[in-house]
Amino acid sequence: MTTSGTPEGPLLRIDAMTKTFGGFVALDSVNVEIRKGERFGLIGPNGSGKTTLVNCISGALRPNKGAVVFAGEDITQVPPNQRSHRGIARSFQIPRPFRSMTVLENLMVALDFAAHRHLLETASHRRDAAMSILTRIGLASRAGMATTALTQVELRKMELARAMATGPKLLISDEAMAGLSTSEVDEVLDLLISLGGEDIAIIMIEHIMQAVMRFSERVMCLDAGKIIAIGAPAEVMSDPRVQEAYLGT
């Protein structure tokens, strides 16, 4: 697994990453590799560094130390828009739609600036592509609606649709299920599982344990910026340190 860049190498490698905010250490020398097409669950109590890790992967934040290697290339200094072009897409913990636009237009932004734009030469091709993603996500009937008129679950789905429109190899879902009802959680979870596949790896950050267990091939638990457990879901859940981090002592 040391030869990066070959098809067998990991899709994403986080190398000894440290991120501090003033004196607060949000991430402390984190090392992790994610395979192509893997479904990866990321858990940890509030403030454990999950979103900071996502921000460092997507480029919203630069780490103080360490490297992000994606598809064999060091992208630590690459701005977020170029990371998107290389295949990293994300949703946000608090949805961030383009509020002055309709749902379809939100997706058109991603398609207009996507790296695979040459495959979708005309605006009508891109419109068709956007509609087909919306159909797949189950938002086709909302295409012409303003994002301000969407319900919470629709907004979450719209964010996933928009991320899909960038043509990702890695999709990061940052608490896409927070605040949803049980049936809505199942709905979004089914959607996430269906979006992943041989070509798209998904990192799912979540607090809802049933969802994490059902979704993940591997789970990693962060606490105070450090990895305290990583491995098969059942193993991680039964780890006493994970239980301690979540339930306290």
Partner 1 sequence: MQRNSIAFWSGAAIFLIAMLLMTQFVTNEYPFFAGYVILQFVVLSVAWTILGGYAGYVNFGTNAFFGVGVYSAVLLIQAFQAPLVVQILVAAAVGGLLGLGIGLLTLRMRGIFFSIATIAVAIIIETAITNWRFVGGAAGIQLQRPPVMQPFDSYVKMLFFVQAFMVVLAVAITRFIQNSRIGRGLQALRDDELAAECMGVPTLRLKLLACVISGALISAGGAPAAMYVQFANPDSAFNLNISVSVLAMSLIGGTAHWIGPVIGAILLGGTQQFLAVTISSEINVLVLGIMLVLFVVAAPKGIIGLVERIRRAGEKA
CB 233 within 8 Å of CB 212 = yes
The residues near 120 (Cβ < 8 Å, ≥ 6 apart) are 111, 114, 126, 129
Part in contact with partner 1 (CB under 8 A); list of ranges 66-74, 77-85, 199-207, 233-241: 77-85
CB 38 within 8 Å of CB 217 = yes
CB 173 within 8 Å of CB 202 = yes
Q: How far is the CB of 234 from partner 1 (least distance, A)?
A: 33
Among 79, 138, 179, 197, binds partner 1 (CB under 8 A): 79
Q: How far is the CB of 101 from partner 1 (least distance, A)?
A: 7
Residue 60 binds to partner 1 (criterion: CB under 8 A): yes
Task: Kindly write out the interface string for residues 170-189 of this chain, putting x where it contacts partner 1 by CB under 8 A and - elsewhere.
Answer: --------------------
Among 34, 89, 153, 222, binds partner 1 (CB under 8 A): 89
DSSP letter, residue 90: E
Name the H helices within 166-249: 182-195, 209-215, 233-238, 240-247
Cα atoms in the Cβ-side hemisphere of radius 13 Å centred on 111? 25
Which residue, 107 or 211, has its beta carbon nearer to partner 1? Answer: 107
Part in contact with partner 1 (CB under 8 A); list of ranges 111-119, 129-137, 179-187, 199-207: 111-119
Distance from C-alpha of 49 to C-alpha of 198, rounded to nearest angstrom: 28
3-class DSSP state of 72: coil
Among 12, 92, 103, 215, binds partner 1 (CB under 8 A): 92
Task: Kindly write out the interface string for residues 20-59 of this chain, putting x where it contacts partner 1 by CB under 8 A and - elsewhere.
Answer: --------------------------------------xx
Distance from C-alpha of 59 to C-alpha of 235, rounded to nearest angstrom: 31
Contacting positions for partner 1 (CB under 8 A): 58-60, 79-82, 84-85, 89-90, 92, 96-101, 105, 108-110, 112-115, 162-163, 165-166
